[in-house]
Every structure is written in C-alpha cells, then in structure tokens.
Amino acid sequence: MTDRFLDDDALLSNDTARRLFHQVAATVPVVDAHTHLSASDIARDRVYDTLAELWLEDDHYKWRAMRQAGFGEQLVTGDADPWDRFLAWSRTVPRMPHNPLYVWTHLELRRVFGIDLPLSPATAREIWDEANRQLPTCSARRLLARFSVCALATTDDPGDDLSAHRRIADDLGTDAVVVPTWRPDAAHRLLADPAAWNAWADRLGAGAGVAVEDLESLVEALTRTHRRFTDVGGRASDHGLESLPDTARDDARADAAVRRVRHGTAASALERAAVMLEVVSLAGRLAHAQGSVLQLHLGARRDVSPRLVAEVGADAGGDAIGDEPQAAGLSRLLGQLEADGTLPRVVLYNANPRDNALFAAMAGAFSVPGLPAAVQWGPPWWFNDHEGGIRRQLEDLAQVGQLAGFVGMVTDSRSLLSMTRHELFRRILCDLVGRDVDEGRVPADMDWLSEVVRDLCATNAARFFGLPPPAGPRWG
C-alpha cells in the first residue's frame, strides 16, 4: 500500500485540482484578515525556547484536546516541564485521526521544520530534538516570512496603546503589513462585573482622554479609540456575540446601565443587551464613515465550564456551540444600518453549522450599489474550520451566494504556526473547483478558474479589507 499521508497531492482528487493548487493556489501569499496573534511577539521578533512554548503556550484548540485525552491542567496550561507538556501532546495527537488538529500538527511539522514523521510517543523525542535545534531560526517574523504572509490583522482591545503595531510598521515596512482590529466586547460583556468593567473603562478613558461616566462619554471614548486604530492601519472592528437581540435600540436603558455599573452595581441582562446594541451600531456607523469592515462572530457559547474558568480563566478552551436564534436580531441590525444609510462592509461568521444557509441567505439580502459582495458570509469559523466544515461552507456559499466574491480563509488563531490552515483551505477549494470541472458543472477554462482561485486565496480579502495588495513575484 502506498502511503499518501500529506503528500504533495493530498486532498486533490483530480488533475484539474492538482493543476490549480500547484500552479496557482500554492504560489499566492497569505492574507489573514482575522487572527488573535500577539502584536508584541511580532514587534520584538520573539524567539521561542522550546517547541512546547511555540505550540502549546496560547493554543486553546490544543488545550481542549489534551483535556479530552485526560491530562490535568498542570500539563495543559500549568508550569509542568516543557518536555512533559510536549510528551502529553504527543500522546494526544494519535487519538485524533480525521480531526483538523491532526492535519494541522503534521503540516506545521513539515512546512516549518521539514519533519515528516507522524507525532506519537515513539517519535516524540526525535521530533522534539530536531525542532528545538531549528527554533533559533524560527523567530516570529521569520515564521511569517516562511509562510509568505503579506498581510494580517490582529485582534485588540480599544484601550490598547497600539505601540507594538507602530513598532512593526517601522521595522517591517512593506514586507508584511500587520494591522490592529478594534474589539470592544468588554464594553458590554464586563457589565455583570462592576470591578472589572470599571477597571476597563478607566483604561479606555485614559487612552482616549475622556472620563467615562455615562453612555455619551463611553461612545466618545470608543469613537476616539476607533479613530486611533484607523490611524495605524486598522481596517475592521470585530464583535463576538452569542446573538443579537431582536429589540430596538434603547439609549436610555444603556445610559442607566453604564451609570449604575460606574457606581458599583451590576447591570441586568436587558441592560447589557442595550449597551451591546449601542456599541455594535456605533461600530457599524464608524465602519461606514471610514470605509472599513464590521465583523460579527455569532453563535458561540463561551466559558461553559465553571471549573475551568475558576482554574484557568476565560477563553481557555471551555467553549461550545450555542443554539440561540440568529435571524431576527441580525436582520434587525443590518436593516437598521441600511435604513440609516450607514451599512458598511460586513462579514458574518457563524459558530453553529445549523445556521449555514441562514447566514448565506442573510448576506445576500443586503447589498450596496457599486460594492460587490458588500455583506459576506465569512470564512468557516471555530467549530467549522475542519475539512468537512470547509467543504460544506464552500458548497453552501456557491449554491446560495456567489463563490467568486468570497473573502477566503482566516486562521482565527493565537499560533504563528497556524498559517497552515490556509493550505488546507486552498487544497479543499481546488478540489471542489476541480470536481466541478470533471463533473461538467463549469467549463475547463483554466485562465478563468485560476483567477477565481487566486481571488479566493488572497486577492478578495485584500480588496475587501482595504489592505495593501501584496507585491513581488509570488503575487499572481
């Protein structure tokens, strides 16, 4: 039996797919419009001490898998010896055939370190020694260059001073464009915890030069920080919400909530929803005024494990898919922005695959004359960014919307190694297009198909987010 494990033609089932991938998709640099990478790590060109640090320090996907494999928190996020943590990961990986983590792990070993061994306890020491030997040449910026990353966006709190982004711009020039994304979720998410919200509001106000005491001053502070993000290249805001409430905006209730929390009393669920609508509506108006993008990540139920939150904190891998209704609140928000003449470019992300057709149809219901694909059903996100999820997303989008206008893939990751997710997406994309050719759905026009593939790999994202187009012979 021939071992085809991640060979050059993996996931490419026909000749057209192979031609499109090797001659087109594999030559296009990466534009990653949504990540959680550390701007500080990139600014200081961080060098990692061990493979465990590079792989396991911030990756809650891996943390979740290790817990499911039965490992305790000391090995997952604790202060265990790095080798012991890596060995635990090597014992986890063989449990996950057909899981995206299995594919990503081995693509990362191959593309960064040239290691083609399957990771297991039997190979762990050899892989550990060889990868650690190479780590001094795998600094943060060198990793970006190795993956041919030409532009990426980080995700940042409005109170961030963005000094790391300024250093990146000064040091990297046009080699890699790294821009911030304005993420104001704390403005409504922390309202149930007055101490945390007030500390956040103090930091926001100090950076914006505004004393945050009520809704009006909160909006002013947020507006000033949004402008500061734009000044250093920011091209989008991002919002992680379980769902949007199907209610009209109520600025009086939102103002009362801010004043109450400022005086130490937690806001109610209805008050938090009112502030959420004010913040997201503000973001939409600002995006329209500045020609940037409003991103809405909907449908994740976060931090469902009280034990994990108590031990590790929020955003540590204890999340799930939510089943809240999405259509009414989302259509109300987009419809109101449209009615007000302030509908910006929008990207919609759904955590629940149940909502695929809903999001594809919702995106197609709104349009902006002169701006193709102004409202997008975005990349497969979180619990959907595996092979099956990517295939379903591309097929649903193609049949309900317009595939050629799609903004393509993002990593949504905290790991620099995760750029291999773009390779997985590109292989699946080329396979889907190749199958359409072989099965007679589209003509075998390689010039046209190559343009479509190139656009979906990076060009559409660069255009949509207003990122500088990549230069150099690899582009196009």
Residue 471 is predicted with a pLDDT of 55
Mean pLDDT of the chain, nearest integer: 95
- Asked whether residue 469 carries a pLDDT value surpassing 90, the answer given is no
- Asked whether residue 475 carries a pLDDT value surpassing 90, the answer given is no
- Asked whether residue 472 carries a pLDDT value surpassing 50, the answer given is no
Residue 172 is predicted with a pLDDT of 57
Which pLDDT band, with edges at 50, 70 and 90, does 356 fall under? Answer: very high
Strand partners, 375: 346
Domain ranges of the chain: 47-137, 150-465
Question: What are the start-end ranges of the H helices in 93-214?
Answer: 100-113, 124-134, 140-146, 163-172, 186-189, 194-208
Residue 473 is predicted with a pLDDT of 39
- Asked whether residue 476 carries a pLDDT value surpassing 60, the answer given is no
With left for phi above 0 and alpha for psi between -120 and 50, is residue 87 left, alpha or beta? alpha
Question: What are the start-end ranges of the H helices in 340-419?
Answer: 356-365, 387-400
- Asked whether residue 48 carries a pLDDT value surpassing 50, the answer given is yes
Closest CA to 9 of 19, 1, 139: 19
- Asked whether residue 468 carries a pLDDT value surpassing 80, the answer given is no
331-335 long-range contacts, CB within 8 A, separation 24+: 331/362, 331/365, 332/244, 332/246, 332/247, 332/248, 333/244, 333/277, 333/280, 333/281, 333/284, 334/362, 334/366, 334/375, 335/366
Distance of CA 278 to the CA centre of its chain: 24
Task: State pTM to two decimals.
Answer: 0.96
Q: Which residue carries 């593309």 as its tokens?
A: 111
**Distances, alpha carbon 211 to alpha carbons 114, 219, 274, 425, in Å:** 53, 11, 21, 46
Contact 279, 188 (CB under 8 A): yes
- Asked whether residue 82 carries a pLDDT value surpassing 60, the answer given is yes
Backbone angles phi, psi at 44, to 5 degrees: -95, 5
Q: pLDDT tens-digit profile of 251-289?
A: 999 999 999 999 999 999 999 999 999 999 999 999 999
> Among 37-41, 110-114, 193-197, 470-474, whose mean pLDDT is lowest?
470-474
Q: pLDDT tens-digit profile of 403-422?
A: 999 999 999 999 999 999 99
Pick the CATH number of 150-465 from 2.70.240.10, 3.20.20.70, 3.20.20.140, 2.40.50.140: 3.20.20.140
* pLDDT above 70 coverage of the chain, percent: 97
Which pLDDT band, with edges at 50, 70 and 90, does 3 fall under? Answer: confident
Contact 437, 430 (CB under 8 A): no
**SS3 (DSSP) at 347:** strand
Q: pLDDT tens-digit profile of 292-351?
A: 999 999 999 999 999 999 999 988 899 999 999 999 999 999 999 999 999 999 999 999
**SS3 (DSSP) at 153:** strand
What residues contact 385, with CB distance under 8 A and at least 6 apart? 100, 379, 412, 421
Q: Which CATH code is given to the segment(s) 47-137?
A: 1.10.2020.10
Closest CA to 287 of 388, 375, 199, 400: 375
**Distances, alpha carbon 272 to alpha carbons 171, 259, 348, in Å:** 41, 12, 22
Average confidence (pLDDT) over 61-84: 97
Residue 142 is predicted with a pLDDT of 94
Backbone angles phi, psi at 112, to 5 degrees: -95, -45
Closest CA to 446 of 423, 430, 468, 459: 430
